[in-house]
Chains A and B, each alone.
Chain A
Amino acid sequence: MTVQERAASRLTAREQRETNLWADAFRRLIRNRAALIGGLIVLGLILTAVFAPQIAPMHYAEGDSYNALTVPSWLAPFLPIKNIQSYAKINNNFLFGSDELGRDIFSRIVYGTRVSLPVGFMGALTALIIGLVYGCISGYYGGRVDNIMMRIVDIMYAFPTMLLIILLMAFFKSTFAQVQEPGTIAYTFNQINKVVDRFLGLQGGGMLFIFMGIGLTAWMGMARLARGQILSLKEKEFIEAAHTVGAGDLRIIVRHILPNILGPCIVAETLAIPGYINYEVFLSFIGLGVDAPTPSWGSMISEGSRSIRSYPHMILFPALALSITMFAFNFLGDGLRDALDPRMRGTS
């Protein structure tokens, strides 16, 4: 370590103690009440997903036709249907009632967090990793590399995302999801998918394919954001200083550039999580998402919307769960943005 480097590292260490960006941001974050509530709800959702087997009174696929379509008695007076007691079973067997197969809606919503949350987080994580690496390379090296890499992003951007995801899902589902002879790529994907599903405690959800479909379409925005940030950063004096003391490209990117651009990138991805969750919900809604009997809020809303006239309780609770999750992530994302970059407060 040269004298300069040691001096520089001591300087940064002292600076960090005085105004640690992250500690400062955290303090600002918990002072923001909406963001705090959002964060607590997200924390609660994560705990729900982890402890789903302990929280849910029944297994999500368990049910019998005798208990089908029961309306919880505490809810019945509030439903906008006058004669509901004339055709529906109203009792206290299920907290949120049961669906047409007699499965407990509450348990299915609880297990549904194991679909929605991983999709949201994995979408954000894939976008962050691919987008950051791509954007860093493009922005840092500039010139022709940058030109070609950004043209590719432009082309991907012109793809209608929703159509691309539908196509990808149809492709993945029929190519990879079927059992094939060992040794092929499709078989490998199929095995990885089984591991992912087992890890999440779901029987045959096909979660990997949803991760892939969303991840493949989500990284472009992040790549653009990271590139833009680097372009404005790489001309700064401290990068030049790092160059003069002989730091390599990798070291400069990882130690000097990344910490400075991570804040806006994390904020952008937190605000993008509701979008990813929404994609999965939509895919399950049209039947291209998770496979039955895995409970997705999207497929529950789809089932519920078919019987909205007679059994509105079936759609009410999954829709509520989805909306609350969206609110929580939006509040948390807004709060994170204000906390990490106070200048941005109140914009978009």
Chain B
Amino acid sequence: MIPVLIFISIVTFGLAHGVPGGPFDTEKKRPPEIRANLEKYYGLDKPIYIQYLNYMGNIITKFDFGPSLVQRGRTVNEIFAAHLPVSAQLGILALLVALLIGIPLGIVAALKQNTFWDYLGMGIAVFGVSVPNIVLGPLLIWIFALALGWFPVAGWGKPSQMVLPSIALGLGSSAIIGRLTRASMLQVIREDYIRTARAKGLTERVIMVRHALKNAFIPVATVLGPMFAALTTGTFVVEQIFAIPGMGKYFITSVTNRDYAVVMGTTLLYAVFLVIANLAVDITYAFLDPRIRYT
């Protein structure tokens, strides 16, 4: 895990600094002395590996991502504090949408296989997979904000403003979860121990909840890690469409402004999220499936 993060930090640092032009290129030419002073202040005059070591040292010892290079007087930590919670809220809400729509959809489709409900559920799933959130966002705005007027067009903060972005972001993932749940449910309910449970005379409800669902969730749990990652970075698209003041919008402007500090910090932070999310999935996996624990 540590080498992974070191590698990511080096690549990001290299890419961000490899872009020609610096953060102090403005429309108006600055006198070279002032420019040199600025670079000295931010440590940009030192050799690049010293810059890298200084930067990483500050993060590890003080959890300090340094000052923003473009927004004067703001530190990267402050920017994170202002924008990350918004992205995190959106990501978590979208994951909830994905789970709350996807799992019931998959279960119903599997239990009523080859009926109208199955086809309806899988039709919704194909729709969710195929319509990208870049289209889904404007579509939701058009229907529910402009035509029906139920929700506001854009913004973030009030609960009513959170509905459309969460659906726009989560529906695609709910389709993936739905298809996966259906497939693994179909496999599980044909297992011998389900027949045994039926033979014991357990009610259908107990069989499904206690025996089938728990095992059917194992494959679903494995995709949750990558999915959470996709959702947290996927917020970038949705934040643009709904004008949400999250990290995604900020990251993109930072890339074009060459605000190295923000770019580096964001990438590192997301990488840490990703690594932790995958670790959490591995742990859940072992919890759900004792066979893994004992091998």
Contacts and interface: CB of A to CB of B under 8 A. Distances in A.
Contacts of A170: 15, 19, 255-256
Contact of A158 (B153, B179, B232, B274): B274
B263 interface: yes
B20 A163 contact: no
Contacts of B65: none
A245 B275 CA distance: 46
> Which of A164, A175, A286 has the most CB atoms of chain B within a 10 A radius of its CB?
A286
Interface string B160-192: 000000000000000010011011001000000
A152 to B, nearest CB: 9
Contacts of B18: 171, 175
A285 interface: yes
B139 A80 contact: no
Nearest to A328: B130
Interface in B271-286: 271, 274-275, 278
A289 to B, nearest CB: 12
B126 A330 contact: yes
Interface string B112-145: 0000000000000010011110110111011000
Interface in B24-83: none
Interface in B213-240: 229, 232-234, 236-237, 240
Given A170-B19, A278-B132, A305-B138, A163 B183 contact: no
B147 interface: yes
A301 interface: yes
> Which of A161, A170, A274, A331 has the most CB atoms of chain B within a 10 A radius of its CB?
A170
A167 B16 contact: yes
A158 B141 CA distance: 33
Interface residues of B, number: 54
Interface string A146-174: 00000000110011111110111011001
Interface stretch (B4-12, B86-94, B96-104, B198-206): B4-12
Interface in A103-136: none
Contacts of B159: none
A12 interface: no
A139 interface: no
A160 B270 CA distance: 7
A73 B107 CA distance: 46
B157 interface: no
A319 interface: yes
A274 B126 CA distance: 13
B256 A319 contact: no
Contacts of B252: 166, 286, 288
A215 interface: no
A57 B146 CA distance: 32
B183 A347 contact: yes
Given A167-B255, A281-B134, A304-B138, A161 B183 contact: no
Nearest to A321: B135
B95 interface: no
B251 interface: yes
B134 A171 contact: no
Interface in A297-318: 298, 301, 304-305, 308-309, 312, 315
A322 B270 CA distance: 29
A155 B3 CA distance: 8
A205 to B, nearest CB: 19
B103 to A, nearest CB: 15
A156 B130 CA distance: 26
Nearest to B186: A346
Given A155-B4, A301-B135, A319-B139, A174 B21 contact: yes
Contacts of A187: none
A348 interface: yes
Contacts of B11: 159
A155 B7 contact: yes
A60 to B, nearest CB: 20
A171 B19 contact: yes
Nearest to B139: A319
A93 interface: no
A323 interface: yes
Given A160-B270, A175-B19, A312-B142, A282 B4 contact: no
Given A166-B251, A301-B138, 12 more contacts: A158-B271, A158-B275, A160-B229, A162-B234, A166-B252, A167-B16, A167-B267, A305-B138, A305-B241, A308-B141, A326-B131, A331-B126
In the complex, the 5 A-B pairs of residues with the closest C-beta atoms, listed nearest first: A162-B233, A326-B130, A347-B183, A80-B147, A160-B270
19 contacts: A155-B4, A158-B278, A163-B266, A167-B263, A168-B15, A170-B19, A170-B255, A174-B19, A281-B134, A282-B237, A286-B252, A298-B134, A315-B138, A323-B132, A326-B132, A330-B126, A330-B130, A346-B182, A346-B186
Interface of B: 3-5, 7-8, 11-12, 15-16, 18-21, 126, 129-132, 134-135, 137-139, 141-142, 146-147, 153, 176, 179-180, 182-183, 186, 229, 232-234, 236-237, 240-241, 251-252, 255-256, 263, 266-267, 270-271, 274-275, 278
